[in-house]
Chain A
Amino acid sequence: MFKYLKQLTSLVAMVAVLFTFTTETMAAKKSKTLKNTIKKDFVRCGVSQGLPGFSNADAAGNWTGVDVDVCRAVAAAVLGDANKVKFTPLSAKERFTALTSGEIDILSRNTTWTLSRDADLGVTFVGVNFYDGQGFMVRKDSGITSTSQFKNGISACTNIGTTTELNMRDFFNSKGISYEPVAFEKADEVVAAYDSGRCDTYTTDKSGLAAQRTKMTNPDDHLVLPETISKEPLGPVVRQGDAVWEDIVRWSLNVMIEAEEYGISSANASMMKTSENPAIKRLVGTEGELGSYLGLDQDWSLNIITQVGNYGESYKRNIADTGILPDRGPNNIWTKGGLLYTPPAR
């Protein structure tokens, strides 16, 4: 009798195992990255080596910033916990190699979306989480208030491996100004060199200038010039060849933006479950089956909103309240005069 019982239990176990395999959704099967992420139980995210407002670690090693929040949103959507992220700080030079070689699964590191990067590097840009443009910072006592006052022989500090290096050349060439490019590998070294007087100007994305200004010996001695010399749409990037993972990251970001559009925040998300508006109901998971299309739980979008918040909350927490760029400018919802416009989540 017991002999049969033993066989029976093993049969039950086998059926159970088979059942779990079949319930694993089609999406998860198709996406190697999603499967690995669930298995590891954390999202592998590449960030900067320290850019306040975007990705910056405090003394205790807690990462904050709008770029960090994109990875946290993906972790909330996929694993149900926004803290299940492993952050890898990367230099501008290392970032794409780290992504294509599989060391990280999302690159969220104030990275400009350009044609050549999208088409030629083996990566895919999934959206824009910050609209930026390249600018210049100068010392106030130089009396310079506009780039039109730049003269031949100016020396400009910047980072290597960025679009900045290319834009800088385009800018100075078009103005016919001779300049000396001084390019460092790490942002902190650029700041130190400019701060000590090695360079007359420091050029990078304006948000970066505003953030790095806070690191100067005396921030009030420096001025970010009003001109913007380039378009820099910054956004998260994934490896090419995993369409499901690409969709998950894209829509995790879109949920944050659309949640703000419909006024859903981390504070009121659970109350919104009873809303009359079907668009809101879809976002908080009480209508439709959006999660299953992506191979995720029904609560994926609700988890993003309650744990990370909508885009506006993320911006306020990381960029406005820290005094980096209090004015949202183009980084506002399209209904409020900004550029943030997402396809509908339905």
Chain B
Amino acid sequence: MKIKKILPQLLTLLFIVLVFGFFTMNAQENMSTRGLEFGFGFLNTQASFDIQFSLIDYDGSHTYARAYLVGLLNTLLVAFIGIILATLLGAIVGIARLSPNYLIRKTASFYIEFFRNIPLLLQIFFWYFAALRALPMLEDAPMLLNSSFMTIKGLYAPSPIWINFDVFFTTIIIAMIVIFFFARYAKKKQEQEGKRLPVLIISLAIFTGLPLLTFLIGGVDLSWSFPVIRQMSASSYTFDGGLKIPPELIALTLALTLYTATFIAENVRAGIQGIGKGQKEAAASIGLTPSQVLKLVVMPQALRIIIPPTTNQYLNLTKNSSLAAAIAYPDLVLVFAGTAMMQTGRAIEIVGITMATYLTISLGISLLMNWYNKRIAIQEK
């Protein structure tokens, strides 16, 4: 009886091992006939190519390992911004979908149907090659907010110059910890004594007050470096100083956000609609205001429906960011699985590393979201 249970599993395992073994042997044999060697030593050699946009200090004299890190951080950056913006937009549109106002409701559903049904790559091309190409040249760009310029070569904005930034940063962390404990204390107090403390106002006061204090006594100072236009030749210009956000990043973020937000909006709508009408009516009947109904009754339950499919959308957004290669945004795929692979010829190693990296990022997001999902799930008593 036992053998009957184990045998199919053993056979499956054997099959998988054989398949992997065959591919490995095949690759090894082919590589040795072509005089190729498997190894990761190339990561420590000089990369010799420059990258357009980097969050850390990098130029061609650094190693391939450093170039990998640049690509990885660029991927994480676009995924991070994309996830935050898509969540905000998705939540707003999802709620708008259920608005009693005809115009708002229809606009939201038109937006969803439009952006959800066009392939993402086309949308990226549209934003990069059509929309952002229509921006003015540097010398014709109007000044926005008295400091920034939106041009065909990207967004030029003032960049902050900090003195003693670490002091300021530490204070923010301290403020957050203080707020966390204060919120717990306030909740306990309300449960025990029925007294409500103005948590939001006090938290805001702590959050702004403490860091502001460092300016007065902590020696922290902030000034701005503004972009200044400079002529390079008869027809070409550039900006010196300030912060430059490349149009590739803007186009990619826009496309990913607008595309993914449609799916999140539908999740939000489904989540809210999944809560029975009776719940809302019961909450209203005990005297809760509409915003309290949403905050205390509907949302906590709706989140349970919203979170799992939204996790999928976060993963999709992260993986879709690899389409960056089409518009020259130097993400992991363009820098590492593109240029680095080409210059070193280490296809197997580099594709392997890239796959492992995406897997790790995705599993990381999954873990985080599963933990959150568990936290908000119904706790049976």
Contact = CB atoms under 8 A, between A and B. Distances in A.
A198 B34 contact: no
Contacts of B48: 166, 169
A96 B327 contact: no
A159 B51 CA distance: 12
Interface residues of A, number: 51
With most chain A CB atoms within 10 A of its CB, the pick from B33, B36, B233, B246 is B233
Given A181-B52, A189-B327, A241 B235 contact: no
Interface stretch (B108-116, B159-167, B340-348): B340-348
Contacts of B246: 182
Interface string B206-242: 0000000000000000000000001011111011100
Contacts, number: 132
A165 B52 contact: no
Given A93-B342, A183-B328, A239 B34 contact: yes
Given A181-B51, A240-B34, A189 B236 contact: no
Interface string B327-353: 110100010001101111101000000
A169 B31 contact: no
B43 to A, nearest CB: 15
Q: Would you call the interface of chain A mostly helix, strand, loop, or mixed?
A: mixed
B327 A97 contact: no
B119 interface: no
B129 interface: yes
A182 B328 contact: yes
Interface in A145-175: 149-155, 160-162, 165-166, 168-169, 173
B60 interface: yes
A16 interface: no
Contact of A193 (B235, B328, B334): B328
B339 A165 contact: yes
Contact of A142 (B51, B233, B247, B325): B233
A122 B230 contact: no
B240 A184 contact: no
A142 B338 contact: no
B50 interface: yes
Nearest to B135: A197
B345 A143 contact: no
A100 B236 CA distance: 43
B95 interface: no
Contact of A183 (B34, B238, B339, B345): B339
Contact of B236 (A102, A117, A142, A239): A142
Interface in B24-82: 30-31, 33-36, 48-52, 60
A143 B233 contact: yes
A141 interface: yes
Contacts of A144: 233-234
Given A183-B52, A193-B328, A200-B232, A166 B343 contact: yes
Contacts of B97: none
Given A142-B236, A153-B230, A181 B50 contact: yes
Interface in A115-143: 117, 120-123, 138-139, 141-143
Interface of B: 30-31, 33-36, 48-52, 60, 129, 133, 137, 152-153, 230, 232-236, 238-240, 246-248, 325-328, 330, 334, 338-339, 341-345, 347
29 contacts: A97-B347, A121-B36, A122-B36, A122-B345, A141-B235, A142-B236, A143-B234, A154-B232, A155-B153, A155-B238, A161-B342, A161-B343, A165-B49, A166-B49, A166-B343, A181-B51, A181-B52, A182-B52, A182-B248, A189-B326, A189-B327, A193-B129, A196-B129, A196-B133, A197-B133, A198-B133, A240-B33, A240-B35, A241-B33
Given A150-B232, A152-B232, A183-B334, 6 more contacts: A100-B34, A120-B344, A165-B343, A166-B49, A193-B129, A197-B152
Nearest first, the 7 A-B pairs at minimum CB distance are A122-B34, A161-B342, A143-B234, A153-B238, A121-B345, A142-B233, A151-B232
Interface of A: 92-93, 96-97, 100-102, 117, 120-123, 138-139, 141-144, 149-155, 160-162, 165-166, 168-169, 173, 179-186, 189, 192-193, 196-198, 200, 239-241
